[in-house]
Structure 1
Amino acid sequence: MKLTTHLVSAPLHTPFITALRTATSADSLLVELTDGELSGWGEAPQVWKVTGESLAGAQACVEGPIAAALDGLEPDDFTEALRRIQAAVQGNFGAKAAVDVALHDLVARRRGQTLHGFLGSTVSSVSTDVTLSVGDPESLAASAVDRVADGFGVLKVKVGTGDASADFHRVRRVREAIGPEPRLRLDANQGWSRRDAVNAIRALEDAGCDIELVEQPVVAADLEGMAWITDRVSTPILADESVYGVRDLVAVIRHGAADLVNVKLAKCGGLATARTLLELAREHGLGAIVGSMMESHVGIGAAAALVAAYPTTAVNDLDAAWWLRESPVVGGVRYAGSVIHLPTAAGLGVTGLTL
C-alpha cells in the first residue's frame, strides 16, 4: 500500500464565524491510500483552536511514522493495520483518522461495497443540523430564517462569546424569528463559567426557548464543573472537547458530567475508535451525535457512513461540507437541504481531486 498526501483549501460560500475563529476556507490534508489501481481516501482538517493540529504536522505524521508502520502490510491485514495506525505516534488524531478512513475506504472498494455497507448499513441518507455563524441578534435571526428556508430543521447557535446575558438575548431572538418548530441547540465552545452556564441555561428554560441541548459549556478539563451544571439544569448537556478517546469518555461517565457525547473522527483518530465510543456511550445510557470539524466531502462522507451504520440519539452535526463553494473531490456525498445522500459507488464514492 502506498500513502500519498494532498493539501487542499476549499473556499466557503459564506464566512463561518465562531467565538474561536473566522473561517473563509476549509483547509485540509487529504490522504490517498493506493493498492494497485484502487485508492481509498481520508481527511485530516486543520483545527488549531481545538486539536492543535496543523496541516504540516499531519502531513509529516502521515508520511513519516504512520507510513513506516504500514510498510509491508496489505489491505487484507486490516485489523493489524488499524492497530498500527493508532500505535504509530502519540496524539495526531486528525492524521490517524485520515489514514484509518482511507484504509476503510480502500477495503470497502476492494469488496465492491459502499463504505456504509461495509460498516453494516443499508441506509442511503442521514440528516444534519446547520450552524449559525456568530452575530448580533438581528443578523442571527435573519440567518436562522434563511437556514430554515434552506430545509434545515435543527439549528445550532454558537454562544460562549464572553457575555452570557448577550448570548441569552441572541438565542431568544432566534427562537422568536423561527417559531416553535425548528429545534435549537447551543454550542458554548468552552466559553462559559459554571455559574454563567447555569444562569444562561435556566433563563432560556424560563423564557420557553425550548433548547434541545447545550454543547461543552465549560473548559474541557472541568468535568466536575460540567457535572455541576448537568445536575442543575433540565436541558441536556453534550460533551465535545472533553472527549477525544475512550479514556475521556470513561471519565465523563464516571463524573456524570454530560447527558450526551459528540464523537468526531478527527478528534478520536478514526472510524475504529469512533465505533467503540458510540458503543460505550450506548451501553452506559448516554446519548450521542457524530460531529465534524470544518471538513470536506471526504471527512463528512466517512462520518455520514458511520452514522448510517451506528444510529445516534439526535440529529448529527455534519454540515461542514455544506459550507463549501465546491467540493475538492469528484464524487462522494451530496447535500439536499438537511439530508446528506450517501454514494452508491464503492467506498466513499470519491474518484479524484477537483481542486
Structure 2
Amino acid sequence: MKIARLTIYHIEIPFKRRFAHARAERTRSDSVVVKVSLENGLAGFGEGCPRSYVTGETAESVFSVIQDSKEKVASFSPANFAEALEILRSFRLDSEKKRPRLPSSNAARCALELALLDLSSKCFQRSFAEILETLLPQDVFQPPRPVRYSAVISTGSLSKQITTALAMRLFGFRQIKVKVEDSENDAKKLRLLRRTLGKKKEMRIDINQAFSFDQAVRFFEGISDLQVAGVEEPLVGQELERLKELKVRFGLPLIADESLVTLEDARYLAEGDLMDIFDIRLSKCGGLMPSAAIIEFALKNGIGYGLGSHVGETGILSAAGRWLASSVAGLKFLEGSYDRFLLKENITFPDITLGYGGKAPPLSGLGLGVNVDEEALETVATRKEEITF
C-alpha cells in the first residue's frame, strides 16, 4: 500500500439552529477533512474539529501541521494490516506537546489517523471492530453492539431551554446534558428544567470552565438537591487545582473535558484526584488510538469514562465515534451522531443519525462504514489543498 495523494479540506456547514455554551457560539460547523488516496483510486477519509479554547488549534493551524507532516504520510506504506496498526501506534506529529495543558495538534492527528485507518481497513479487508479489539483493554472490549446517545441542551433563554427539554423528553432520551453560563441565575433555570425533564431522566451539567471557585461554590449550593449525575468543567483553567475542594465539599461527580486533551493530562488529573469521569472526544484526544489509551488509563485508576463529541461533527467523526462506543463497555455517557438534527446537509451516506430515544445500531462493513459524497464535500469546502507524492 502506497499513498499517492493527500487532500485537505476546510469545511463549513450551516446549522439548522444556533448552538452555544459559555465559551463559544456556533451557527455552522468548522472541521478539517483529510483524504488519502492510492493510485488505484481507493481512498480513506478522516476529520478533525479544531477548537482554539480546547487544543489551541484553528483550521489554519491544522492545515499547516498536516502539510508539514506530508513526508510521514508519504512514507506510510505498510505491507499488511498488523504493520499498519503498528505504524499508527507511534504516529506523532512534530508539533505535538508532551506536557499537560499546552496546545496540541490533536485535531490534526485525529484527521490523519482516521483517514489512514479508513484506508487500511479497506485495503487489507479488515474491519474497524478488529482494529478496536487490538486497541482496547480486554476488560472493556465487546463485539459491536447497539448504543444509546444522550442529548445536549444549549445555553439560551429559559423558554427555549424548556421547549428543548420537553422535546427531548418526548423523544425518549434517558440522559440529558445542560449547558450553563450564569452562576447567579442558571441554578434557578435548572430547577425548572429538572421539573420539565422529570426525576427519571439523568441530568448532567456542563459549565465549560466558566466559573471562578467562589462562583462555583454558590452555584453548587443552588443545585445540591437536583439529582445531578455530574458537573463538567466547573472551574476556569487557572483554578483547576481547587477542583478537589469542590468534590470534598459537595460530593458531586466532576467530569473532565477541556482539561483532558492528552494522556499526560489524564495522569495530572488522576494524581491530584481532581476529576471522577473523563469525557473523551476523538478529535480533542487525537484519534482512536490516544482515546483508547486514555480509556485504559481510566480503567486502571478507577476513573469513569464517557464518549463526547464536538458540535458540528460530520458523519465521518460520527461513524468513528459509533465504532468506538459500540465496542467499549462501561461508558458513563455517549454524545454525538446528531447529524441531520443539526447540519443542514451532510457529506456522508448512509445517514447514521441517532434514532428515537438516542438509540443507534452498530456499523458494519469495511472502513468507517460510511461513504463520503465528494461532490457535497467540494460544495461545503472553503479551502482545499492537494499534495501529490
Q: TM-score, normalised by structure 2?
A: 0.84
What is the letter of the counterpart of residue 236 of structure 2?
V
For structure 1, which segment, 107-116 or 86-95, has the greater mean C-alpha deviation from structure 2 after superposition?
107-116
Residue 386 of structure 2: aligned partner: none
For structure 1, which segment, 262-271 or 330-339, has the greater mean C-alpha deviation from structure 2 after superposition?
330-339
Q: How far is 1:285 from its partner?
A: 0.3
Is 1:42 the counterpart of 2:46? The answer is yes
Is 1:99 the counterpart of 2:99? The answer is no
What is the letter of the counterpart of residue 94 of structure 2?
A
Q: How far is 1:111 from its partner?
A: 3.8
Q: Report if aligned partners of 2:220, 2:250 keep a CA contact under 8 Å in 1.
A: yes
Is 1:240 the counterpart of 2:257? The answer is yes
Matches of 1:247 and 1:50, distance apart in 2: 15
Residue 138 of structure 1: aligned partner: 159
Q: Are the structure 2 counterparts of residues 198 and 179 from structure 1 closer, same or farther at C-alpha, using a change threshold of 3 Å? A: same
Q: How far is 1:67 from its partner?
A: 1.8
Matches of 2:338 and 2:55, distance apart in 1: 17
List per-residue Cα deviations over 1:159-215 (Å, max 9, x = no partner): 1x2x31211011111011121111110000001122322332232123xx2111100
What is the letter of the counterpart of residue 320 of structure 2?
A
SS of the aligned residue for 1:85 comes to coil
For structure 1, which segment, 242-251 or 134-143, has the greater mean C-alpha deviation from structure 2 after superposition?
134-143
Q: Report if aligned partners of 1:28, 1:43 keep a CA contact under 8 Å in 2.
A: yes
For structure 1, which segment, 280-289 or 313-322, has the greater mean C-alpha deviation from structure 2 after superposition?
313-322
Is 1:259 the counterpart of 2:263? The answer is no
Is 1:336 the counterpart of 2:362? The answer is no
CA-atom RMSD, angstroms?
Answer: 2.0
What is the letter of the counterpart of residue 116 of structure 1?
A
2:300 is matched with which residue: 258, 261, 283?
Answer: 283
What is the letter of the counterpart of residue 75 of structure 2?
G
List per-residue Cα deviations over 1:252-300 (Å, max 9, x = no partner): 0110001111111211211111100000001100001111112111112
Q: Give the length in aligned residue pairs.
A: 350
Residue 367 of structure 2: aligned partner: 347
What is the letter of the counterpart of residue 82 of structure 1?
L
What is the letter of the counterpart of residue 352 of structure 1?
V
Is 1:118 the counterpart of 2:131? The answer is yes
Matches of 1:60 and 1:169, distance apart in 2: 45
Residue 317 of structure 1: aligned partner: 335
Residue 383 of structure 2: aligned partner: none
Residue 3 of structure 1: aligned partner: 6
For structure 1, which segment, 277-286 or 44-53, has the greater mean C-alpha deviation from structure 2 after superposition?
44-53
Q: Are the structure 2 counterparts of residues 143 and 298 from structure 1 closer, same or farther at C-alpha, using a change threshold of 3 Å? A: same
Is 1:293 the counterpart of 2:310? The answer is yes
Matches of 2:330 and 2:216, distance apart in 1: 26
Pairing of 1:152-301 with structure 2 (within 5 A) = 152-159=173-180, 161=181, 163-206=182-225, 209-294=226-311, 295-301=313-319
Is 1:57 the counterpart of 2:61? The answer is yes
What is the letter of the counterpart of residue 345 of structure 2?
E
Q: Are the structure 2 counterparts of residues 247 and 48 from structure 1 closer, same or farther at C-alpha, using a change threshold of 3 Å? A: closer
Q: How far is 1:28 from its partner?
A: 1.1
Indicate the percent of aligned positions where both proteins have the same amino acid.
Answer: 25
List per-residue Cα deviations over 1:109-138 (Å, max 9, x = no partner): 234344234313532432211111112223
Matches of 1:19 and 1:319, distance apart in 2: 22
Which sections of structure 2, spanning at least 5 residues, go unmatched? 97-103, 134-141, 378-389
Q: TM-score, normalised by structure 1?
A: 0.91
Q: Are the structure 2 counterparts of residues 205 and 140 from structure 1 closer, same or farther at C-alpha, using a change threshold of 3 Å? A: same
Q: Report if aligned partners of 2:315, 2:337 keep a CA contact under 8 Å in 1.
A: no
Residue 72 of structure 1: aligned partner: 75
Q: How far is 1:320 from its partner?
A: 4.8
Matches of 1:113 and 1:127, distance apart in 2: 26
Residue 149 of structure 1: aligned partner: 170
Q: How far is 1:156 from its partner?
A: 0.9
Matches of 1:181 and 1:319, distance apart in 2: 23
Matches of 2:173 and 2:16, distance apart in 1: 17
